[in-house]
């Protein structure tokens, strides 16, 4: 469990609050819009209405007491930059700021952000990959060139064990998990025999995964 402060209750901050609270974290939220704050009262541990560009408002939050501080202001970059800088100056242990553009990210990192996230860009990229490639059920980019994809097994793999398929040697990818409906088995045993009803979570370089996808009918 972590203590987390979320500044800005737009769409990203809203969903972040709900998901972090479901993971049993202590979440404090703040926004200058009372309606946005009140919508999240069932999820937040503590909620406050205030303008965080005001230093006194920020000081009243006890920034140094939080394990994580999220600055989720996307509509006003100047405010996001000011708040990020102030949060770090006031003892923010780890500050994550939302950015919409690369140039914004550069300024945020120079002015106190420990990490910058692009939720809109990341979601758009994930959806684009899923819907432009056949037979991709989910997608996560790890680093440039490496991804995790959820795909069906090749027809030639069905009826064979993972050991017999030997994906690492033949295809240069690894099987991280097997998903059958809602049941997920991580790091499956080499003796597991593929039935064709599973989804495989595979990790590897994107060009190697694309070669597998090209053979799925």
pLDDT digits (tens, 9 = 90+) for 6-46: 999 998 999 999 999 999 999 999 999 999 999 999 999 99
Q: Of the candidates 99, 214, 92, 88, which has an alpha carbon nearest to the alpha carbon of residue 151?
A: 214
**Cβ-contact 197, 117 below 8 angstroms:** no
Residue 26, burial from CB neighbour count under 10 angstroms (0-12, 13-18, 19+): middle
Could you give the angle at the alpha carbon of 39 between the alpha carbons of 26 and 82, nearest 5°? 65
Task: Quickly count: other Cβ atoms within 10 Å of residue 202's Cβ.
Answer: 21
Q: What is the pLDDT of residue 132?
A: 60
Q: What is the pLDDT of residue 217?
A: 64
Q: Of the candidates 6, 93, 3, which has an alpha carbon nearest to the alpha carbon of residue 47?
A: 6
If you average pLDDT over every residue of the chain, what do you get?
Answer: 89
- The predicted-structure confidence for 175-208, as pLDDT tens digits, reads as follows 999 998 878 889 999 999 999 999 999 998 888 8
The domains found in the chain, sorted by start residue, are: 3-117 (3.40.50.720), 133-214 (3.30.70.1450)
d(CA 119, CA 20): 15
**Cβ-contact 77, 104 below 8 angstroms:** yes
The yes-or-no verdict on residue 70 having pLDDT over 70 is yes
The yes-or-no verdict on residue 75 having pLDDT over 90 is no
The yes-or-no verdict on residue 113 having pLDDT over 90 is yes
- The predicted-structure confidence for 31-42, as pLDDT tens digits, reads as follows 999 999 999 999
d(CA 37, CA 104): 26
Q: Of the candidates 167, 194, 198, 205, which has an alpha carbon nearest to the alpha carbon of residue 181?
A: 198
Q: What is the pLDDT of residue 216?
A: 76
Q: What is the pLDDT of residue 101?
A: 84
């Amino acid at each position: 469990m972590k203590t987390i402060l979320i500044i800005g209750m737009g769409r990203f901050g809203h969903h972040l609050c709900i998901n972090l609270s479901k993971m049993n974290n202590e979440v404090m939220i703040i926004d200058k819009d009372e309606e946005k704050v009140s919508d999240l009262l069932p999820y937040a541990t503590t909620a406050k209405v205030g303008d965080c560009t005001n230093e006194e408002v920020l000081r009243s939050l006890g920034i140094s007491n939080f394990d994580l501080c999220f600055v989720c202001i996307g509509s006003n970059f100047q405010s996001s930059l000011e708040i990020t800088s102030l949060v770090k100056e006031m003892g923010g242990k780890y500050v994550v700021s939302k950015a919409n553009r690369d140039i914004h990210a550069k300024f945020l990192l120079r002015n106190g952000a420990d990490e910058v996230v692009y939720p809109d860009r990341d979601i758009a990229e994930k959806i684009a990959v899923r819907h432009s490639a056949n037979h991709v059920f989910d997608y996560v980019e790890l680093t440039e060139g490496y991804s995790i994809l959820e795909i069906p097994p090749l027809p030639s793999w069905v009826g064979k064990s993972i050991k017999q398929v030997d994906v690492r040697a033949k295809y240069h990818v690894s099987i991280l998990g097997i998903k059958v409906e809602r049941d997920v088995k991580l790091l499956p045993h080499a003796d597991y025999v593929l039935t064709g009803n599973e989804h495989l979570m595979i990790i590897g370089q994107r060009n190697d995964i694309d070669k597998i996808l090209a053979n799925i009918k």
